[in-house]
Copies of this chain bind each other. A is one copy, B any other.
């Protein structure tokens, strides 16, 4: 066994194989997942790491965008490579070229027809709210702080109104370029946990697709309902009349986390 083999590197052929990766990132220092001019993105860091491994450009195709400041526990992307690296070494090799705020969780070979964006069947986002009188500095990057009391029963009831298939025009940014705004929320659950200085409230939102800013607007709306600034009736009206102004504000990006992406 030569040195390269010991390191898990078996050589290179010009035959391309497709790989599917799951990646976690702390979105704090990035202008979102997708490559942009003049702004740091997660995709750029991934392509830089792949380029250093391949000595040539390698394109990364993600499951979709995430906004500036949004985190991911389980973003998925694919790429093609001629490198023959032992499967258990791919994740380690990639991570060695990535900054600490981006960590590949798994790498697996996948058939050449797999497409990380087109083949998505479901996604789960989680919105993290920390309710306490005063701010906790160690939560400021990952939890949206809410200093007032929240009526959790009202929030849960309003969440039930949003579940299912609806036209979510009222819950999407004016910047959204989607024509068809009907989406299905398969699950919108609220988990709550008492901690020393307040409560952790996690909105779990699962669906077959999401409009631009949709989860953050849903989070902002449910917070408004919880503090009595909005009501179940108003949420129903927002869905029916498709008016953005009837929904709540867009909740801050740093509370949002792309939890997983599922494929058939």
Q: Give the B-binding residues of A (Cβ under 8 A).
A: 24-26, 71, 73, 91, 100-103, 105, 134-138, 140-142, 196-197, 257
Chain B residue, CB-CB nearest to A134:
B105
Which chain B residue lies CB-closest to A105? B134
What is the minimal beta-carbon distance from A96 to any residue of chain B, in angstroms? 12
Copies of chain A in the complex: 2
> Chain B residues near A102 (CB, 8 Å)?
137
- Which listed residue, B25, B101, B137, B196, touches A103 by the CB 8 Å rule? B137
Write out the residue numbers on chain B whose beta carbons fall within 8 Å of the beta carbon of A100. Answer: 135, 137, 140
Residues in B whose Cβ lies below 8 Å from that of A196: 73
Q: Across the two chains, which residue of chain B brings its CB closest to A26?
A: B137
**Nearest CB in chain B: distance from A95 CB, A:** 8
Pull 8 A–B residue pairs with CB atoms less than 8 Å apart, ordered by A.
Answer: A24-B134, A24-B136, A24-B138, A26-B140, A71-B137, A73-B136, A73-B138, A105-B134
Within the assembled complex, what's the spacing in Å between the Cα atoms of A24 and B102? 27
